[in-house]
């Protein structure tokens, strides 16, 4: 029988793409419940699903921030969820001084507690049946901090700690956890963030910090998306879901790995912090070459690719 896959945040981006790829599986291994907060936005998904709509893909309402919405959605599903994909998420960038606590809490409510809420709802069924797979769209920012993404990175670190802990217990129940860690992916995500920061004033922030944010970080971030950004199609989560032994962690972008390696090779953490500081504040070539800067000679020899 096909496995029931419930995915959050399918009105756009990675969630939409994953839902469509699974629904079009040539072997018809999946019954996809593609959920979204606002069903008014279902047209793009439905168009992309094509003939799969109503066959291997159904669309349902789900706001990960609402207990009622989660309960309502799960009660409508025939049978149990075999694979849960926690994809819904939002970003937040900017100098800390200019961001409200409410905005930060909203990020945690969505990115962290949204996933926790769904897991609590599906876990008893998975444990009873002694099978299941929980996939979490984390980020490379769940592995290492990125300047001006303090709160977003914290929400992804929280997911990493939570699910790594849970993975140990769940092995006992034959339930797998997979944290997928993309680098930049070209979706509406970045556009939403840029729209947010173009009107934000970040009150209470000193001029130096504002200058670093607007004149160094924002252009560098745009360049990074352009130079190493993946498409949602490239994120290849289907491989993780179809795997007989799903990995706990899967980075999706080899072109970003020079940056993630910096943390792996130096457990004190200073190589990563100093190098990324240098990339942004000292090496203007970053703006032209993106991550190729890692081989341009401005980095310590031991982190340069051979």
Q: What is the CA radius of gyration of the chain?
A: 20
Is residue 4 within 8 A of residue 33, CB to CB? The reply is yes
Q: Which stretch binds ligand NAD (CB under 6 A): 47-55, 62-70, 77-85, 126-134?
A: 62-70
For the chain, how are helix, strand and coil distributed in percent, rounded to 5?
A: 55, 15, 30
Out of 21, 187, 221, 251, point to the residue binding ligand NAD (CB under 6 A).
187
Q: Quick one: 141 exposed, middle or buried, by C-beta within 10 A (0-12, 13-18, 19+)?
A: buried
d(CA 152, CA 141): 8
Compare residues 290 and 299 and give the one whose CB is closer to ligand NAD.
Answer: 290
Token pair 């940056």 is found at 259
Is residue 57 within 8 A of residue 19, CB to CB? The reply is yes
b or e along 227-252 (b: 16 or more beta carbons within 10 Å of the residue's beta carbon)?
A: bbbbebeebebbebbeeeebeebbbb
d(CA 179, CA 170): 14
Q: Which stretch binds ligand NAD (CB under 6 A): 11-19, 143-151, 194-202, 207-215?
A: 11-19
- For the segment 99-128, give every residue that binds ligand NAD (CB under 6 A): 110, 114
Is residue 273 within 8 A of residue 144, CB to CB? The reply is no
Residues in contact with ligand NAD, shown as a per-residue x/- string from 206 to 235 under the rule CB under 6 A = ------------------------------
Out of 4, 12, 196, 257, point to the residue binding ligand NAD (CB under 6 A).
12
Out of 5, 7, 9, 32, point to the residue binding ligand NAD (CB under 6 A).
9
Out of 3, 5, 8, 213, point to the residue binding ligand NAD (CB under 6 A).
8
Q: In the complex, what is the shortest distance from the CB of residue 152 to ligand NAD, in angstroms, rounded to a whole number? A: 7
152 is a catalytic site residue: yes
d(CA 305, CA 295): 6
d(CA 17, CA 48): 8
Is residue 295 within 8 A of residue 289, CB to CB? The reply is no
Q: In the complex, what is the shortest distance from the CB of residue 110 to ligand NAD, in angstroms, rounded to a whole number? A: 5
The dihedral region occupied by 88, where left means phi > 0, alpha psi between -120 and 50, and beta the remainder, is beta
88 binds ligand NAD, rule: CB under 6 A: yes
d(CA 179, CA 104): 22
Compare residues 13 and 94 and give the one whose CB is closer to ligand NAD.
Answer: 13
Q: Which residue is nearest to ligand NAD (CB)?
A: 13
94 binds ligand NAD, rule: CB under 6 A: no
Out of 3, 5, 7, 13, point to the residue binding ligand NAD (CB under 6 A).
13
Q: In the complex, what is the shortest distance from the CB of residue 129 to ligand NAD, in angstroms, rounded to a whole number? A: 26
237 binds ligand NAD, rule: CB under 6 A: no
Q: In the complex, what is the shortest distance from the CB of residue 149 to ligand NAD, in angstroms, rounded to a whole number? A: 11
DSSP bridge pairs for 86: 136
Q: Which stretch binds ligand NAD (CB under 6 A): 23-31, 48-56, 83-91, 194-202?
A: 83-91
**Contacts to ligand NAD by CB under 6 A:** 8-9, 11-15, 36-37, 62-65, 87-90, 110, 114, 137, 139, 182, 184-185, 187-189, 192
Q: Write out the catalytic residue numbers.
A: 152
């Amino acid at each position: 029988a096909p496995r029931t896959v419930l995915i959050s945040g399918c009105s756009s981006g990675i969630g939409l793409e994953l839902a469509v790829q699974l629904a079009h599986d040539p072997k018809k291994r999946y019954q996809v419940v593609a959920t979204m907060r606002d069903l008014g936005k279902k047209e793009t998904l439905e168009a992309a699903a094509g003939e799969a709509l109503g066959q291997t893909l159904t669309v349902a309402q789900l706001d990960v921030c609402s207990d009622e919405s989660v309960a309502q959605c799960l009660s409508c599903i025939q049978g149990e969820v075999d694979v849960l994909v926690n994809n819904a998420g939002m970003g937040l960038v900017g100098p800390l001084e200019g961001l409200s606590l409410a905005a930060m809490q909203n990020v945690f409510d969505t990115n962290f507690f949204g996933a926790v809420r769904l897991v609590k709802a599906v876990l008893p069924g998975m444990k009873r049946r002694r099978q299941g797979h929980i996939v979490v769209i984390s980020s490379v920012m769940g592995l290492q901090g990125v300047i001006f993404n303090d709160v977003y990175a914290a929400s992804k670190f929280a997911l990493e700690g939570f699910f790594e802990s849970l993975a140990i217990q769940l092995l006992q129940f034959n339930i797998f956890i997979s944290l997928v860690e993309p680098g930049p992916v070209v979706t509406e995500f970045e556009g939403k963030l840029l729209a947010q920061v173009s009107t934000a004033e970040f009150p209470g922030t000193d001029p130096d910090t504002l200058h670093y944010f607007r004149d160094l970080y924002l252009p560098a971030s745009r360049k990074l998306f352009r130079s190493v950004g993946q498409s949602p199609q490239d994120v290849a989560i289907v491989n993780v879901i179809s795997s007989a032994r799903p990995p706990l962690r899967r980075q999706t972008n080899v072109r970003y790995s020079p940056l993630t390696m910096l943390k792996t090779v130096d457990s004190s953490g200073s190589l990563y912090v100093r190098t990324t500081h240098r990339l942004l504040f000292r090496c203007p070539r970053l703006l032209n070459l993106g991550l190729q800067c890692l081989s341009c000679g401005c980095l310590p020899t031991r982190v340069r690719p051979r």
